[in-house]
Amino acid sequence: MVPVHLRSGVPRRSRALLFAIICVVLIFFLPSLTNRVCLGHVFPGASLPYDTQSPAENAAGYVSDDNPILGFSHMHDSGTGGNPSLGNFPLFFHPGCPDDDFAKCDYSVMHRGTYRVPGSAFASVGYFNINLTNSVRAEMTVTEHTALYRFSPLVLVDLVDLANTRSLGGIQVYPESARVIGEGQYNPSFGSGHYQAFFCADFKGAAVRKAGTFITNNATEEPKFLDTVGANHYIPTGSAGAWIQFERPEQNFILARVGVSFISVDKACQNAEREIPDFRFERVEAEAQNAWRKQLSVIDVDATGVSEELQTTFWSGLYRSLLSPQNYTGENYLWNSTEPYFDSFYCIWDSFRAQHPLLTIIDPAAQTQMVRALLDIYKHEGKLPDCRMSFCQGYTQGGSNADIVIADAFLKNLTDGIDWDLAYKAVISDAEVEPHDWGVAGRGGLNGTGHLSRTISRGVEYAYDDFCISLMAQGLGHTADAQKYYQRGVPEHTHLLPIQNQHSCYYDTGLDTYEGSPWLYSFFAPQDTAALIGLMGGRRSLPTGPHRYIPRQFNATVNGIPGNDDGAMGAFSAFALMGFFPVAGQNVYLLTPPFFPQIRIRVPVTTIKGKKEPDKWAVIRVRNFDPEQRPFIQSATLNGKKYTNNWITHEFFLKGGVLELRVGLEESTWGTSEQDRPPSYRIWSAKRMQRD
Ligand SMILES: *[C@@H]1O[C@H](CO)[C@@H](O)[C@H](O)[C@H]1NC(C)=O
Ligand SMILES: *[C@@H]1O[C@H](CO)[C@@H](O)[C@H](O)[C@H]1NC(C)=O
Ligand SMILES: *[C@@H]1O[C@H](CO)[C@@H](O)[C@H](O)[C@H]1NC(C)=O
Ligand SMILES: *[C@@H]1O[C@H](CO)[C@@H](O)[C@H](O)[C@H]1NC(C)=O
Ligand SMILES: *[C@@H]1O[C@H](CO)[C@@H](O)[C@H](O)[C@H]1NC(C)=O
Ligand SMILES: *[C@@H]1O[C@H](CO)[C@@H](O)[C@H](O)[C@H]1NC(C)=O
Ligand SMILES: *[C@@H]1O[C@H](CO)[C@@H](O)[C@H](O)[C@H]1NC(C)=O
């Protein structure tokens, strides 16, 4: 069983980094606390990979402190940095009401908060439980669109979401069948517009005694139906929902099965009935665990001598990097399409660097579907997303970093249904056509409207986006374009945009860079590492020490994630611990000393043409390994032959093989000569000139 890393709600410096998990249960926080920006923001509840629902945090709906618990909801985004996301339709349980009078129980978010029994929260893969001080014990597990809860006898379902953004909505309780259905319209956490969501909750295990609805803290038996539409059907924003009071349960607990959908109540009920027809908690939990075990079995590490703590950091990082983007295929209400639909790209500025490259290695089928989903969004909305959640356009961070994700997929030969002509149109649109509102998609700074800040970061990023487009143009045979974008991708040709009206937003530095200092951004020239090394005063002056950064910033304590983890940080730590790091948008992985004596990554079956060969592995082995760390590579062999490049290509993960790295305490000359370094703009230019 993989330990899940519970994250805490420690106030942190503001930053709108990365992402989201989806899940089954949300634990709500008191409204006064919802403005807190939290570290990590990871969702610890039961979840499936890329899944639409799951039980338990506050950005992600859960905080590992002693704040009261306000409910358990079924849809989550993990690791977000903006407002809390999703968390719709929370359930809340009362063990009973004062004087056995349902009207004397507390219903609204403002009143019902109940403390947890300290230390009682437990999370494992596909499962979450917690004891509340009102004697309720809540357990939950999950399938793709349905959550299953086990708890003790007055339950309420609230139409509220985490950030309290509901506008329209309605709810109906059926006492005869112990079913509650409902819907609402909500705002996305870091974007514009709104989205719709539906649920269908069925209860089992006890006879219904009474049922009704509530508005804020006022519960009544009639009406059994609330709606926002029509003159007599007014529900104020905030808490409003339905409740059911049960007889004493036969087996001391009641089961709640909650299906969700973005399409309709009917679809939510169908999802629930299809995925959990039997209400068997243990079966659902075992299947969720199996799904995770299978997903993570692609990687196998020899952990001899490696601390438990580091192993937990490693596996938790991998787990978190598989939570988002979420697979909403079959739930897209915006357009009809046979293409996959993924959501919660939170944001691509964060995920292009490590998370998407990680998926390309460990789950190329999922990465392929995500690329297809990005292209389908381009096809129907006119631009590739930069940030997207809950069917809405998110606020722009980089602008067009999806170009890098797409070029990366192209260079690594992901195919399976990707329309590369459409993909090329999409990236060229980013490069050439400024949208009217570049606050939510595309590049900006010419004549549209959007933040007129981040000129430095946007400048260097647009250049790199163009560089990646040039690699793709070349591969697709668009030679003139390849030249053009190659020129535009030269770091020093970057045209920094003028500052006109410098917004200092909480996620901007105020120094024309985004979530990083100009100093940090001066290192962002992945297309030209040779020039960078020169400019920065030579190889020896470059900062080293990933080996220090990892234990210091990533560890298995509740606060052991620096910043909010939308999956990008998890992927970063996983790569760093395995000893290689992708240069996203190029067929290059930089080598560093691994933290394990051996790492094996299974070659994806789908990439071997025609025949199934599941048991091929790409193996990285460390000679002279020392768990206390020998931070310098002294020499290397690839499949038994001397290997001097300080980088490898994606072919290693497609074909398999054995890369052996001998490590030591002393800095060595391995991989330092010019021909051993990754391809660099200047080197390529020189070669090209010789050829031409
Ligand atoms: C939580 O409640 C369950 C069932 O009542 C009990 O067995 C368990 O010991 C409790 N755990 C804690 C940490 O209080
Ligand atoms: C509670 O709601 C009922 C039914 O809508 C209404 O008659 C009653 O006045 C409300 N009570 C309070 C205290 O608001
Ligand atoms: C999708 O197709 C169905 C059936 O033709 C139609 O009823 C529905 O309105 C379409 N949805 C959208 C978003 O176009
Ligand atoms: C996404 O969901 C669809 C529909 O359920 C499924 O066919 C597809 O395999 C899923 N993709 C991944 C990567 O799990
Ligand atoms: C992609 O395919 C091309 C053409 O078959 C091949 O030359 C290249 O090595 C492949 N790249 C990777 C990363 O496998
Ligand atoms: C920006 O200006 C160019 C050149 O005048 C024009 O072609 C383009 O349509 C304009 N874009 C917007 C969003 O107004
Ligand atoms: C664990 O990581 C956190 C967050 O990065 C850091 O603040 C803390 O000092 C680390 N703890 C240890 C013992 O290294």
DSSP one-letter string for 40-104: S----S---TT-S------TTS--SSSPPB--B-S---SS-SSS-----S-EEEES--GGG-GGG
| CA R_g for the chain | 26
At 39 the three-state DSSP class reads coil
Interhelix angle 402-411/355-362, nearest 10 degrees: 30
Q: How far is CA 49 from the centre of its chain?
A: 10
Which residue CA neighbors atom 14 of ligand 5 most closely? 651
CB 385 within 8 A of CB 190: no
CB 384 within 8 A of CB 374: yes
- pLDDT exceeds 80 at position 692: no
What's the confidence (pLDDT) of residue 540? 42
Q: Take residue 263 and report the two structure tokens written for it.
A: 């399409």
Atom of ligand 3 nearest to the CA of 334: 13
pLDDT in tens, 506-530: 345 454 555 555 444 545 566 666 5
For residues 247 and 352, give the distance between their C-alpha atoms in angstroms, rounded to a whole number.
52
What's the confidence (pLDDT) of residue 208? 94
At 12 the three-state DSSP class reads coil
What's the confidence (pLDDT) of residue 482? 94
Atom of ligand 4 nearest to the CA of 50: 14
Q: Take residue 467 and report the two structure tokens written for it.
A: 């560089």
- The finding on whether 338 has its CB within 6 A of some atom of ligand 3 is no
pLDDT in tens, 113-123: 888 888 888 88
Mean pLDDT of the region 425-439: 91
pLDDT in tens, 338-376: 999 999 998 898 899 899 999 999 999 999 999 999 999
For residues 692 and 679, give the distance between their C-alpha atoms in angstroms, rounded to a whole number.
18
Q: Which of 593, 656, 674 is nearest to 629 (CA)?
A: 593
pLDDT in tens, 15-24: 222 222 222 2
CB 324 within 8 A of CB 21: yes
What's the confidence (pLDDT) of residue 155? 87
Q: Which of 130, 132, 153 is nearest to 140 (CA)?
A: 130
Q: Do domains 31-279 and 333-527 have the same CATH topology?
A: no
Distance 337 CA to ligand 5 centre (A): 30
CATH 2.160.10.10 holds for 31-279: no
Candidate from 102, 218, 225 with most ligand 2 atoms within 8 A of CB, to mutate: 218
Integer CA distances (angstroms), 182 to 71, 141, 226, 390, in order: 16, 21, 9, 18
Mean pLDDT of the region 74-94: 77
- pLDDT exceeds 90 at position 490: no
- The finding on whether 221 has its CB within 6 A of some atom of ligand 6 is no
- The finding on whether 50 has its CB within 6 A of some atom of ligand 4 is yes
User: Among residues of the chain, what percentage have pLDDT more than 70?
Assistant: 73
What's the confidence (pLDDT) of residue 607? 47
- Pick the more confident residue, 608 or 338: 338
What's the confidence (pLDDT) of residue 30? 23
Taking the CA of 415 as reference, the closest ligand is 5
Residue partners of 566: CB distance under 8 A and separation at least 6:
17, 18, 19, 20, 41, 78, 79, 80, 81, 324, 346, 347, 350, 351
Length of the chain: 692
Residue partners of 351: CB distance under 8 A and separation at least 6:
18, 19, 325, 345, 405, 566, 567, 568, 571
What's the confidence (pLDDT) of residue 230? 65
What's the confidence (pLDDT) of residue 14? 23
Beta-sheet pairing, 218-220 with 122-124: unpaired
Mean pLDDT of the region 205-213: 93
Residue partners of 109: CB distance under 8 A and separation at least 6:
28, 30, 31, 70, 71, 158, 160, 164, 238, 239
For residues 59 and 39, give the distance between their C-alpha atoms in angstroms, rounded to a whole number.
9
- Pick the more confident residue, 419 or 55: 419
- The finding on whether 437 has its CB within 6 A of some atom of ligand 6 is no
Candidate from 555, 561, 569 with most ligand 7 atoms within 8 A of CB, to mutate: 555
- The finding on whether 172 has its CB within 6 A of some atom of ligand 7 is no
Taking the CA of 119 as reference, the closest ligand is 1
Mean pLDDT of the region 149-157: 81
DSSP one-letter string for 611-623: S--TT-EEEEEEE
For residues 192 and 283, give the distance between their C-alpha atoms in angstroms, rounded to a whole number.
39
Distance 119 CA to ligand 1 centre (A): 10
- pLDDT exceeds 60 at position 497: no
Q: Tell the residue number behind the tokens 């974007």, with chain if given.
A: 191
What's the confidence (pLDDT) of residue 163? 84
Taking the CA of 410 as reference, the closest ligand is 5
Integer CA distances (angstroms), 421 to 374, 379, 418, 428, in order: 14, 12, 9, 11
CB 621 within 8 A of CB 660: yes
Least confident of 151-155, 416-420, 479-483, 591-595: 151-155
Beta-sheet pairing, 580-582 with 589-591: antiparallel
- pLDDT exceeds 90 at position 4: no
User: Among residues of the chain, what percentage have pLDDT more than 90?
Assistant: 45
* CATH class, range 333-527: mainly alpha
For residues 40 and 118, give the distance between their C-alpha atoms in angstroms, rounded to a whole number.
21
- The finding on whether 204 has its CB within 6 A of some atom of ligand 6 is no
Burial label, 49 (beta-carbon count in 10 A; 0-12, 13-18, 19+): buried
Distance 110 CA to ligand 4 centre (A): 38
Burial label, 332 (beta-carbon count in 10 A; 0-12, 13-18, 19+): buried
Domain ranges of the chain: 31-279, 333-527
- pLDDT exceeds 80 at position 560: no
Beta-sheet pairing, 617-623 with 657-664: parallel
- pLDDT bracket for residue 408 (50, 70, 90): very high
What's the confidence (pLDDT) of residue 243? 95
Which residue CA neighbors atom 12 of ligand 3 most closely? 335
What's the confidence (pLDDT) of residue 31? 23
Q: Which of 584, 589, 576 is nearest to 549 (CA)?
A: 576
Q: Which of 352, 200, 169 is nearest to 267 (CA)?
A: 200
Which residue CA neighbors atom 5 of ligand 6 most closely? 447
Question: Considering the chain, what is the average pLDDT of its residues?
Answer: 79
Distance 412 CA to ligand 5 centre (A): 7
For residues 10 and 23, give the distance between their C-alpha atoms in angstroms, rounded to a whole number.
21
Which residue CA neighbors atom 6 of ligand 7 most closely? 553
- pLDDT exceeds 60 at position 61: no
Least confident of 258-272, 516-530, 600-614, 619-633: 516-530
- pLDDT bracket for residue 184 (50, 70, 90): very high
- pLDDT bracket for residue 43 (50, 70, 90): low
Strand partners of residue 641: 638
CB 265 within 8 A of CB 198: yes
